Amino acid sequence: MLLELSIFCAVLILLYLLAIMPKLKKNPGLDKFMGRHYAHRGLHDNRSKAPENSLEAFRLAVVNGYGIELDVQITKDLVPVVFHDYDLKRTCGVDKKVRDLDYEELCQYKLFESQEKIPSLREALDCIGGRVPIIVELKIPWKPDDTCVAVSKELDGYNGLYCIESFNPFGLGWYKKHYPNIVRGQLSTDFVKEKIEGSRVQYFILKHLLFNFHTKPDFIAYQHKYKKALSFTICRKLYRTIAVAWTVQSQNEMEDSKGYYNLYIFDSFIPE
């Protein structure tokens, strides 16, 4: 009985390690992203003329030499736009969802009472112009195809350096199939501790990176507060995966995260 139990436990551990195993062969494109900090949603201040995910915030990041992390989702008419939330309440004070509006309708709203509108991905890419690397977060509620197809069409014509990341493993799986050479990263956090509404089972799978066997990410982007999470630690120490911290909001947090991460996505302060 003890032998059978030991074998059963050993098999479970092996399956777990296989499930969370990221890509082991390093993507040579990763080296181009190293040695730089990344401004979360651009170098922004939502009380200024350069709010988050605005063209002005991207200009400021470029001028100051920071890489840029930005969020992309699609409108009702399948136009990729740079916008974080799925609705406009927080940013524009309007109770409407991005996916329910055509791009032209979306353009009438301003970000945080500034003069900046919600930019299309094409406008953002033109603004950045390949001068700094970009981390493109795909905002995908469930099925990835429409978002990934629309985003990839814009990125196909971009000459600058970019990579893809997402919480949604199916989006990363889509890119693995169609664009295997593009650097891709799995986003995660402790969803329960962050009190994010949703399925506990789904969030358990995502927190513990149990879809890595399918997506084979080149890096793991993990909420810096949970840097000691088990699956993240195994990926970092056993599999030597590149680790990206999000979102660091002070120099103290950055110092506290050193030794755990290779790259940092920051906002609310200027790194030393």
Torsion angle of alpha carbons 141, 170, 9, 1, nearest 10°?
Answer: 90
The DSSP call for residue 264 is E
The DSSP call for residue 96 is -
Q: Phi and psi for 103 in degrees, rounded to 5?
A: -60, -40
Q: Is 154 in a helix, a strand, or coil? A: helix
Instruction: In whole angstroms, give the CA distance from residue 77 to residue 58.
Output: 25
Residues with a catalytic annotation lie at 40, 84
CA-to-CA dists, residue 48 to 55, 85, 104, 152, 253, angstroms = 13, 19, 25, 31, 24
State CA 171 to chain mean position distance. Answer: 11
Torsion angle of alpha carbons 113, 116, 121, 127, nearest 10°?
Answer: -150
Burial of 159 (0-12, 13-18, 19+ CB in 10 A): exposed
CB proximity list for 220: less than 8 A, separation 6 or greater: 22, 185, 186, 188, 209, 232, 235, 236, 241, 242, 243, 244
The DSSP call for residue 258 is B
Which helix (H) or strand (E) segment is 162 a member of?
A: strand 162-166
